[in-house]
Structure 1
Amino acid sequence: MTGPRPPATHPLWRPFELADLDQVAAVRIVRESSPPVVVVDPDPAWPAAYDAVARRLREALGERALAVEHVGSTAVPGLPAKPVIDVDLVVADPADEPAWLPDLEAAGFALRVREPDHEEHRMLRGSDPLRGLASNVHVFGPGAREPRRHVLFRDHLRSHEPDRRAYGEHKRRIADEHGFTDAMDYNNHKAWLVYDIYERAFAADPAHPHDPHPR
């Protein structure tokens, strides 16, 4: 007879780790100074700003835009955030940049990050001159886990007010206290709370049993 199966770990789980800021600097295409990180009150105009970015992406790529999602804090009603619209874009092969990048550059998006070792992630920066909002467009391929993690985190915050409130308060506090000029340094200072919220999101997912420490 076989014994009971050990608890499973959620397929989107990953261990806690901080970003290596030297490695982050190495994958940046453009080295540019950044304004201090500022966390602002939630703005009801953010969904419309996302719609404008998504429309530009789809017009530029047509059917090559396999999926477009509003992610990050501006996608969560009632959550304070940096005034930057985060978007996940899925294309057939991010590494095949000639197949999609020139058209996005023509539409006003500029490549800022290239990470072949991170699911072939690319990040492009866009701007909306009418609203004054920047956008970060994260490009992944169809099998990437990171976009699915982003959607799970977004949806959990949308439906769990205590985590949404704690996350917003923490972001405001560290932004005010540290005056970050590097967004990745800011991300590192909130990483432990992000990890804890992911743990609760995984545990609440009825489709997958979750044990963060499988034996």
Structure 2
Amino acid sequence: MGGEVVVLAYDPEWARQFELLKAYVQPALSDLAVGIEHVGSTSVPGLAAKPIVDIDVTLAAPADVRTAVGRLAELGYVHEGDLGMAGREAFIPPAGLPWHHLYAYAADHPEYRRHLLFRDYLRSHPEEVQAYGELKRRLVERFRHNRAAYSEAKGEFVSERLRRAGWEG
């Protein structure tokens, strides 16, 4: 069910990896992207995480998505479509780059706003970082071979922290 789930202690290399990946895609999207953000657990200092950098590319307008898909393809990214989330485009990274998740959205997409809100909430609440890391370690023992169940089991924690951060989505 999606492969083995691995959660590691925070590694500062994740931030450096993001910066390298950002530098790789930014020139191709410089006139379209209003932001290239490191999101997900690897973007929160001190947080245990699956060792996969998540990147959100935000585009000025929904019409820019098609152009961005083409430019990312020129860099070697393989477009996977929206993977069930309308307005979000997912990409498989080119061979030779570290495995990462790259998504492109229009800047007003609610999932993008949710990602930033959760990341920024955790960054400003170190006690929550510790609690979330401990939860993830417990869950990985329980759901090591079931990625969907692992993700679902984190849902209540994430939803509650988003609510505390002001999310109304």
Provide Cα deviations, 1:141-175, integer angstroms capped at 9, x if missing partner: 12212212211111111111221111111111111
Query: In 2 relative to 1, CA 54–128 (structure 1 residues): closer, same or farther, beyond 3 Å?
Result: farther
Q: Which residue of 2 aligns with 1:126?
A: 93
Q: Which residue of 1 aligns with 2:137?
A: 172
Does 1:146 pair with 2:111?
A: yes
Does 1:136 pair with 2:97?
A: no
> Which protein is richer in helix relative to its size?
2
Q: Larger Rg: 1 or 2?
A: 1
- Please report how far the alpha carbon of residue 93 of structure 1 lies from its aligned counterpart in structure 2 after TM superposition: 4.6
Q: Which residue of 1 aligns with 2:42?
A: 74
The aligned amino acid for 2:128 is D
Choose from 57, 70, 74 the match for 1:102. 70
Query: In 2 relative to 1, CA 129–43 (structure 1 residues): closer, same or farther, beyond 3 Å?
Result: farther
The aligned amino acid for 2:32 is R
Structure 1 gap ranges (5+): 1-32, 203-209
Query: In 2 relative to 1, CA 178–115 (structure 1 residues): closer, same or farther, beyond 3 Å?
Result: closer
- Please report how far the alpha carbon of residue 47 of structure 1 lies from its aligned counterpart in structure 2 after TM superposition: 0.8
1:34-113 correspondence to structure 2 within 5 Å? 34-94=2-62, 98-113=66-81
Check conservation: 1:87, 1:136, Cα contact below 8 A. Answer: yes
Query: In 2 relative to 1, CA 154–101 (structure 1 residues): closer, same or farther, beyond 3 Å?
Result: same
The separation in 2 between residues aligned to 1:127 and 1:82, in whole angstroms, is: 20
The separation in 2 between residues aligned to 1:60 and 1:154, in whole angstroms, is: 26
Over aligned residues, Cα RMSD in angstroms? 2.4
Query: In 2 relative to 1, CA 100–41 (structure 1 residues): closer, same or farther, beyond 3 Å?
Result: same
- Please report how far the alpha carbon of residue 63 of structure 1 lies from its aligned counterpart in structure 2 after TM superposition: 1.0
The separation in 2 between residues aligned to 1:122 and 1:97, in whole angstroms, is: 8
Q: Which residue of 2 aligns with 1:4?
A: none
- Please report how far the alpha carbon of residue 102 of structure 1 lies from its aligned counterpart in structure 2 after TM superposition: 2.3
Check conservation: 1:119, 1:140, Cα contact below 8 A. Answer: no
The aligned amino acid for 2:58 is V
Provide Cα deviations, 1:80-123, integer angstroms capped at 9, x if missing partner: 0011111111124556654121221221322234157x451111
Structure 1 stretches of 4+ with a deviation exceeding 6 A read none
Does 1:199 pair with 2:163?
A: yes
The aligned amino acid for 1:176 is E
Structure 2 gap ranges (5+): none
SS at match of 1:80: coil
The separation in 1 between residues aligned to 2:89 and 2:3, in whole angstroms, is: 22
Query: In 2 relative to 1, CA 119–46 (structure 1 residues): closer, same or farther, beyond 3 Å?
Result: same
SS at match of 1:77: coil
